[in-house]
C-alpha cells in the first residue's frame, strides 16, 4: 500500500487513503463533520463581512465623489461671484483696492478649474466649462490691463499736454466700464455660472451608472453568502443522513435485536454498514451472546 | 440502492470539478488577478467541501450495482451543472440564476449555446472556466473521473458502461480501463494538436487553448462575440474544421487508425457514411449559396458552407457567417445535419450517424421483407449482424428524440416564442449543437428567450447528452427501490 501510495500521482486517491486511515472512529467523523459546518458558517460570515465592506466602501466612494463635486462647483461659483463683485466695485465705485481681490479670484478660479480637470467624472461638460472660464478670465485680465493703462495715462497726463495724441492712441480714454460690464462681462459671467451648473448636474448624472453598479454589487455581495448557506444546508442534510445511517439506525437496530434475543431468544443478526465503533459494539454483543450460550451449554 | 455509496462517488467527481475551478482561478491569478479570481476560488472551495463531506463517512465499496452506477452518472451530471453555475453567479454581470444555470448546462453538455450578449466582457478566468467545463463535459465528467482515479478499481467497468453511449460500445473491443486510457489519449492529443495548430494559424495562446478545448469537446463556446468570424482567417477555419471532424469520429476508430488496426477510419462503414453525408451536404449548400447569390464567388461560398456544415454536423456550433441570411435549402440542410450529428463514441451529440445508418438499413430491410416475406434478413453494420435488441433500442431512441423535440417546440411556442426559433432551438439544444435559426441564429444568443424556455432548453440539453433514457430513468420512483 505504501509503495502504491508513494508512486501514485493522484492527490484525490491520497485524500481517500488518508480519510480511510483516519476516519474510522465515530467521534472523529462527527467532529470533522461539525467542524466542517462550523467552518462553513464562519466562512459565510467572513464572506458576508468582506462583501458588505466592499459595498460600504463603494457607497462611500460614490458619496465622496458627489460631495467633492458639490465642493468644487461651490468653489468655482464663489470664485466667479468674488470676481464679479470685484469687477463691479472697480467699475461702479472705482475702488482700486479690489484689483488684488480680482487677481486673487482669477487665480482661485484657475486653480479650481485645474482640480476639476483632474477629478472630473464626466468629461462631457468640461470643455464648455473650460471655455467659459477662459472667456471670463480673458475679459477680466483685459479689464485689468485697461485699468492699469488708464491709471498710467492719468499719471502721464499730469506731465503731458491734455490734447497729446499719443496718450489717446495708447489708452482708450472713452472706455465705458458700466456698458462693458452690461454688454460683455455679464454675458460671459452668466455663461460661466450656467456652465458650472451644467457641470454640477452632469457629474451627478454620471454617478447614476455607479449607483447602478452599486445595486449589482449589492446583489453580488448577497450571492456568495446565499450559495455558502445553500452548501451548508446540503451539508447539514447529509450530516443528518449520515448520523442517522451510521449512528442512530445501527444503535436502534442493535437495541431491537438484543431486546428480541433477550425476550424471545431470537438470533442476534445485525447488518453493519461500516467498520467503526458501532460495528465493534455489534461484534462484542455477538461475542457476549456466544459466551453466554457457551456457559449455558457447559452448565447443562 | 445505497444512497451513501452514490453520495461518495458523486463527491469524488465534485472534487475533480473543484480542481478545475482552482485551475481557472490560477489562470485568473496569472492574468493580474482579474475579477474572476475571487468567484472561482470561492466556488472551488465550496465545491470541494461539498464533494469531500461524504468521504468522511462513507467507506470505499468494492462493487456497486448497475442502478447505483446509473444514479452516480446522472447525479454527477446534474450536480456538476449545479456547482458549475457558482462562478457565474458569484461573478454577476449578465448571469441571473437561470442564465448561470443555462450557461453551466450548456457548457457541460457541450451544447455551446450562450445567454451572453457580451462574451468579451468576461474576465479570462471565467472564460477559461467555461472552456474547462465544456472540456470536462466533452469526455464526460464521470469518464474523466475514471481516467484520473485509480481508486475506483472494479467499479470502473460499471461506470464506463453507463457513461458511454450504447452505440459507442460496439466499436470498443477493450477493457474499461483501456477504453478510458484510449479516450484520454485521443482527447488530450487532439486538444494539444489543435492548440498548436490554432496558435500557428495566428491566435494567441489563450484563445488557441480555449478554442481547442471547446472544439475537441464539440461545444462551440468561444471567447469572442462574433465567434470564429472575429478571426476572419482561412487557416484558423481549416484547423478548426479538421479538429471538429476528428472530434466527431469514434475515438476508438481514431485509435485503431493510429495503431494500424483493421477497424480504422477508412474501413468503418459508419465513418464512411458520415464523411459521405458531410461531403454531399457541403456540395449542396455551396451550390445553393452560390446560385442563391448569398456569396459572389464559389470559393467564398465553399469556405463558409464547409465550415458551417462541419460545425453543425459535429455539434460544435462555431460560426463564420450569419446563417439566418442563407437560402431556405441551405437552412433545411443545416437543420438536417443538426439532427443527424457525429458518430457514437465521439464527443458530439444528436441522434448520431450510427443510429441514422441503422434506421436507414432497418427501413430498407422492412421494404425487402415486404417483397420477400419468407426471407431471413438481418441488419448488418461493418459486416456484423446486429441483435434485435440493439435495433429496437436505437429506433426507440429516435422516436423519443423526436418526441422531445416536439415537446421543446410546443413549450417554446406556448411561451410566445416564434415557431422558427422554438423548433430550431429545440433541435440545437437536444443535439447539443448550440446555434439554431431565428432569434437563436449563429450570430445571436439565447438571452432574449423567456425563463421557462431557457429552463426547458437546459432539460433538452441534458436529455440529449445523457441519451434520454439515462435521465428519464432517474424519475421513475419504482426504480429507486
Note whether residue B337 is domain-resident.
no
> Is B150 close to A10, i.e. CB distance below 8 A?
yes
pLDDT at B139: 80
> Is B56 close to A29, i.e. CB distance below 8 A?
yes
Note whether residue B249 is domain-resident.
no
pLDDT at B92: 83
* Cα–Cα distance for residue pair B135/B128, rounded to 1 Å: 10
> Is B50 close to A29, i.e. CB distance below 8 A?
no
**Could you tell me the pTM of the whole model?**
0.78
Note whether residue B210 is domain-resident.
no
Residues A60-101: pLDDT tens digits? 888 888 888 888 888 888 888 888 888 887 777 766 667 777
Residue among B1, B43, B57 with most chain A CBs within 10 A, to mutate: B57
> Is A12 close to B57, i.e. CB distance below 8 A?
no
Q: Domain range spanning residue B21?
A: 1-163
**From the CA of A217, how many Å to the nearest CA of chain B?**
8
Note whether residue B454 is domain-resident.
yes
Note whether residue B307 is domain-resident.
no
DSSP assignment, residue B59? P
A27-47 burial code (b ≥16 CB/10 A, e <16): eebbebbeebeeebeebbeeb
Which H helix or E strand runs over B306? helix B298-313
Note whether residue B231 is domain-resident.
no
Residues B346-380: pLDDT tens digits? 888 888 888 899 899 999 998 998 988 888 888 88
Residue among A12, A25, A39, A233 with most chain B CBs within 10 A, to mutate: A12
A92-107 burial code (b ≥16 CB/10 A, e <16): eeeeeebbebbeebbe
Confidence of residue A171 (pLDDT cuts 50, 70, 90): very low
Residues A20-64: pLDDT tens digits? 544 567 788 888 888 888 888 888 788 778 878 878 888 888 888
Given A12, A231, A245, which is nearest B49 (Cβ)? Answer: A231
What Å distances lie between residue B425 and A270, B336, B349, B414, B451, CA to CA?
Answer: 55, 13, 15, 14, 14
Task: Report whether pLDDT(A111) > 60.
Answer: yes
Task: Report whether pLDDT(A158) > 60.
Answer: no
> Is A231 close to B50, i.e. CB distance below 8 A?
yes
Confidence of residue A9 (pLDDT cuts 50, 70, 90): very low
Residues of chain B predicted below pLDDT 50? 150
ipTM of model: 0.82
Given B39, B92, B151, which is nearest A216 (Cβ)? Answer: B92
Which one of B163, B194, B217 terminates a domain?
Answer: B163
Note whether residue B442 is domain-resident.
yes
Which one of B133, B163, B193 terminates a domain?
Answer: B163
pLDDT at B171: 53
Decide: helix, strand or coil at residue A33: helix
Tell me the chain B residues in contact with residue A8 when contact means C-beta distances shorter than 8 Å: 150
Task: Report whether pLDDT(A173) > 90.
Answer: no
Which one of B139, B163, B187 terminates a domain?
Answer: B163
Note whether residue B159 is domain-resident.
yes
For chain B, what is the domain count? 2
> Is B150 close to A33, i.e. CB distance below 8 A?
no
pLDDT at B176: 63
Task: Report whether pLDDT(A172) > 60.
Answer: no
Q: Which three cell numbers stand for residue B258?
A: 493510429
DSSP string, B370-390: HHSTT-----EETTEEPPHHH
> Is B53 close to A29, i.e. CB distance below 8 A?
no
What Å distances lie between residue B391 and A157, B270, B379, B380, B395, CA to CA?
Answer: 120, 15, 8, 10, 6
Amino acid at each position: 500500500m505504501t509503495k502504491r501510495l508513494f508512486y501514485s500521482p493522484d492527490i484525490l486517491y491520497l485524500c481517500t487513503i488518508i480519510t480511510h486511515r483516519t476516519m474510522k472512529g465515530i467521534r472523529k467523523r462527527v467532529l470533522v463533520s461539525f467542524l466542517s459546518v462550523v467552518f462553513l458558517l464562519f466562512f459565510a460570515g467572513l464572506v458576508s463581512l468582506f462583501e458588505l465592506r466592499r459595498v460600504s466602501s463603494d457607497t462611500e466612494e460614490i458619496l465622496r465623489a458627489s460631495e467633492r463635486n458639490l465642493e468644487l462647483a461651490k468653489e468655482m461659483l464663489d470664485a466667479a461671484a468674488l470676481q464679479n463683485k470685484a469687477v463691479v466695485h472697480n467699475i461702479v465705485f472705482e475702488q482700486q483696492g479690489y484689483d488684488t481681490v480680482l487677481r486673487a479670484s482669477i487665480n482661485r478660479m484657475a486653480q479650481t478649474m485645474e482640480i476639476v480637470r483632474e477629478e472630473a467624472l464626466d468629461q462631457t461638460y468640461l470643455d464648455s466649462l473650460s471655455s467659459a472660464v477662459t472667456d471670463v478670465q480673458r475679459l477680466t485680465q483685459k479689464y485689468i490691463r485697461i485699468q492699469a493703462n488708464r491709471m498710467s495715462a492719468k499719471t502721464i497726463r499730469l506731465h503731458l499736454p491734455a490734447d497729446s495724441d499719443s496718450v489717446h492712441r495708447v489708452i482708450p480714454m472713452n472706455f465705458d466700464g458700466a456698458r462693458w460690464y452690461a454688454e460683455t462681462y455679464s454675458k460671459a459671467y452668466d455663461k460661466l455660472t450656467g456652465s458650472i451648473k451644467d457641470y454640477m448636474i452632469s457629474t451627478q448624472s454620471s454617478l447614476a451608472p455607479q449607483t447602478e453598479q452599486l445595486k449589482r454589487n449589492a446583489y453580488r455581495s448577497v450571492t456568495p453568502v446565499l450559495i455558502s448557506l445553500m452548501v451548508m444546508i446540503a451539508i447539514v442534510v447529509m450530516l443528518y443522513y449520515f448520523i442517522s445511517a451510521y449512528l442512530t439506525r445501527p444503535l436502534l437496530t442493535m437495541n431491537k435485536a438484543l431486546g428480541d434475543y433477550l425476550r424471545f431468544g431470537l438470533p442476534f443478526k445485525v447488518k453493519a454498514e461500516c467498520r467503526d465503533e458501532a460495528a465493534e459494539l455489534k461484534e462484542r454483543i455477538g461475542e457476549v451472546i456466544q459466551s453466554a450460550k457457551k456457559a449455558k451449554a457447559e452448565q447443562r | 440502492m445505497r444512497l451513501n455509496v452514490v453520495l461518495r462517488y458523486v463527491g469524488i467527481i465534485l472534487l475533480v470539478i473543484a480542481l478545475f475551478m482552482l485551475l481557472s482561478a490560477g489562470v485568473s491569478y496569472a492574468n493580474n488577478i482579474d475579477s474572476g479570481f475571487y468567484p472561482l476560488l470561492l466556488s472551488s472551495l465550496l465545491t470541494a467541501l461539498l464533494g469531500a463531506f461524504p468521504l468522511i463517512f462513507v467507506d470505499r465499496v468494492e462493487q456497486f450495482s448497475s442502478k447505483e452506477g446509473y444514479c452516480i452518472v446522472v447525479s454527477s451530471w446534474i450536480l456538476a451543472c449545479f456547482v458549475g453555475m457558482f462562478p457565474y453567479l458569484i461573478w454577476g454581470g449578465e448571469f441571473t440564476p437561470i442564465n448561470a444555470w443555462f450557461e453551466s448546462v450548456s457548457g457541460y453538455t457541450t451544447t455551446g449555446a450562450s445567454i451572453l450578449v457580451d462574451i468579451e466582457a468576461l474576465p479570462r478566468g471565467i472564460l477559461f472556466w467555461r472552456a474547462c467545463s465544456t472540456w470536462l463535459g466533452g469526455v464526460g465528467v464521470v469518464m474523466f473521473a475514471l481516467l484520473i482515479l485509480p481508486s475506483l478499481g472494479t467499479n470502473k467497468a460499471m461506470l464506463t458502461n453507463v457513461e458511454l453511449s450504447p452505440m459507442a460500445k460496439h466499436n470498443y473491443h477493450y477493457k474499461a480501463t483501456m477504453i478510458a486510457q484510449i479516450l484520454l489519449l485521443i482527447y488530450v492529443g487532439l486538444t494539444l494538436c489543435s492548440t498548436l495548430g490554432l496558435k500557428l494559424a495566428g491566435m494567441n495562446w489563450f484563445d488557441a487553448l480555449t478554442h481547442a478545448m471547446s472544439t475537441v469537446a464539440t461545444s462551440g463556446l468561444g471567447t469572442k462575440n462574433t465567434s470564429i468570424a472575429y478571426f476572419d482567417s482561412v487557416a484558423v477555419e481549416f484547423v478548426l474544421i479538421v479538429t471538429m471532424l476528428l472530434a466527431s469520429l469514434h475515438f476508438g476508430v481514431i485509435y485503431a487508425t493510429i495503431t494500424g488496426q483493421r477497424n480504422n477510419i477508412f474501413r468503418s462503414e459508419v465513418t464512411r457514411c458520415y464523411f459521405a453525408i458531410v461531403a454531399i451536404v457541403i456540395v449542396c449548400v455551396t451550390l445553393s449559396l452560390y446560385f442563391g447569390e448569398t456569396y459572389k464567388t464559389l470559393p467564398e461560398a465553399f469556405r463558409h458552407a464547409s465550415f458551417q456544415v462541419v460545425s453543425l454536423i459535429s455539434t460544435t456550433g462555431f460560426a463564420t457567417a450569419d446563417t439566418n441570411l442563407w437560402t431556405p435549402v441551405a437552412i433545411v440542410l443545416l437543420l438536417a445535419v443538426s439532427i443527424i450529428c457525429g458518430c457514437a463514441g465521439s464527443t458530439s451529440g444528436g441522434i448520431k450517424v450510427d443510429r441514422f445508418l441503422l434506421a436507414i438499413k432497418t427501413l430498407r430491410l422492412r421494404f425487402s421483407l415486404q417483397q420477400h416475406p419468407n426471407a431471413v434478413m438481418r441488419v448488418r453494420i461493418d459486416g456484423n449482424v446486429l441483435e434485435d435488441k440493439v435495433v429496437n433500442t436505437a429506433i426507440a431512441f429516435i422516436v423519443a428524440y423526436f418526441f422531445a423535440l416536439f415537446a421543446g417546440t410546443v413549450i417554446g411556442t406556448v411561451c410566445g416564442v416564434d415557431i422558427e426559433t422554438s423548433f430550431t432551438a429545440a433541435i440545437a439544444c437536444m443535439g447539443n449543437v448550440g446555434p439554431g435559426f431565428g432569434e437563436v441564429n449563429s450570430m445571436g444568443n439565447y438571452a432574449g428567450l423567456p425563463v421557462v424556455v431557457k429552463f426547458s432548453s437546459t432539460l433538452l440539453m441534458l436529455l440529449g447528452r445523457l441519451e434520454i433514457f439515462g435521465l428519464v430513468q432517474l424519475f421513475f420512483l419504482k426504480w429507486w427501490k
